[in-house]
């Protein structure tokens, strides 16, 4: 092979590599379809008692923050979200309960969710579920309420809640987050009679807790001196009038 032929082959290879790079860049920037990535926060759970002694039922209410990121170059749609609830210790094959989105609320108002359900529903601008659009390279964070009605108390040591999403990128519901909850008699009593709420992290979430090394670190951060029992009182400050202020006061 002559030097000229070698140069021609190298030039052809460089041109092919440049063309491939250009096509990949074009695909990523303009042609890549909707590619949703879903991230979930902690799942909150409350039980609300409705009715009176003559007729009583319960609303099982889950709330969850969901972030959807579109890694594609084309706009996509989130068509549905739901919670699939199952009871692993229940001897019924294939059982499940599907909880649709009941409300969407502003993420900043999640702290207003209390044991008084009808009060916070009036206070928080809650809206019913509406499918939403995610633009190319965009992320959207929303907070959803999933609810169902239970006629009788549900007492189960294990409760699995799995978030499923339906998007325009797929033709079937896809699981995107799973939570292991529980409804023991003690938990049920706390939720129904004490108004307590419980929170659960998704499976696979890193365990983030308080860590202190060494364990007795704060035994060495104090002082043996006697600490004051009240904060020091700052000295009183008197601002004397300036000559300009006195002149204006005399002419007033």
CATH number of domain containing 100: 2.60.40
The CA-atom distances, in angstroms, between 161 and each of 167, 190, 224 are 20, 20, 52
Q: Is residue 178 part of a domain?
A: yes
> Distance between CA 181 and CA 156 in Å, rounded?
9
Provide the pLDDT confidence category of residue 242 given band limits of 50, 70 and 90: low
Per the document, the length of the chain is 252
Say which range, 98-107, 111-120, 225-234, has the weakest mean pLDDT.
225-234
Prior bond of 214 cis (ω within 30°): yes
pLDDT at 62: 97
Distance CA 145, CA 41 (A): 13
Cβ atoms of 35 and 169 closer than 8 Å: yes
Q: Does residue 237 fall inside a structural domain?
A: no
Count of domains for the chain:
1
| 181 is a domain residue | yes
Residue 167 lies in a domain: yes
For residue 52, pLDDT beyond 90: no
Q: What is the mean pLDDT of the chain?
A: 85
Mean pLDDT of 72-87: 95
Q: Is residue 52 part of a domain?
A: yes
Higher pLDDT, 221 or 230: 221
Residue 116 domain flag? yes
Lowest mean per-residue pLDDT among 15-29, 175-189, 214-228: 15-29
243 lies in a domain? no
245 is a domain residue? no
pLDDT at 106 (0 to 100): 93
Percent of the chain with pLDDT over 70: 80
Domain that holds residue 56: 43-197
């Amino acid at each position: 092979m002559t030097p000229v032929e070698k140069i021609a082959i190298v030039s052809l290879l460089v041109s092919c590599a440049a063309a491939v790079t250009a096509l990949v860049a074009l695909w990523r920037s303009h042609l890549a379809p909707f590619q949703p990535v879903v991230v979930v926060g902690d799942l909150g759970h409350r039980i609300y008692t409705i009715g009176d002694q003559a007729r009583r039922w319960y609303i099982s209410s889950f709330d969850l923050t969901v972030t959807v990121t579109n890694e594609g170059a084309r706009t996509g749609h989130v068509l549905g979200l739901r919670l699939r609830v199952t009871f692993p210790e229940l001897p019924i094959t294939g059982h499940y309960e599907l909880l649709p989105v009941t409300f969407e609320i502003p993420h900043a108002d999640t702290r207003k969710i209390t044991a008084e359900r009808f009060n916070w529903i009036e206070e928080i601008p809650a809206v019913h579920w509406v499918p939403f659009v995610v633009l190319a390279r965009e992320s959207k964070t929303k907070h959803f309420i999933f609810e169902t009605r239970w006629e009788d108390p549900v007492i189960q040591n294990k409760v699995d809640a799995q978030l499923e999403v339906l998007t325009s990128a797929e033709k079937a519901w896809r699981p995107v987050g799973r939570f292991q909850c529980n409804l023991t008699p003690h938990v049920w009593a706390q939720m129904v009679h004490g108004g307590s709420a419980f929170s659960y992290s998704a499976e696979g979430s890193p365990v983030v807790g308080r860590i202190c090394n060494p364990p007795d670190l704060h035994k060495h951060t104090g002082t043996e001196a006697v600490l004051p029992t009240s904060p020091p009182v700052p000295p009183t400050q008197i601002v004397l009038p300036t000559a300009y202020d006195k002149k204006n006061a005399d002419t007033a």
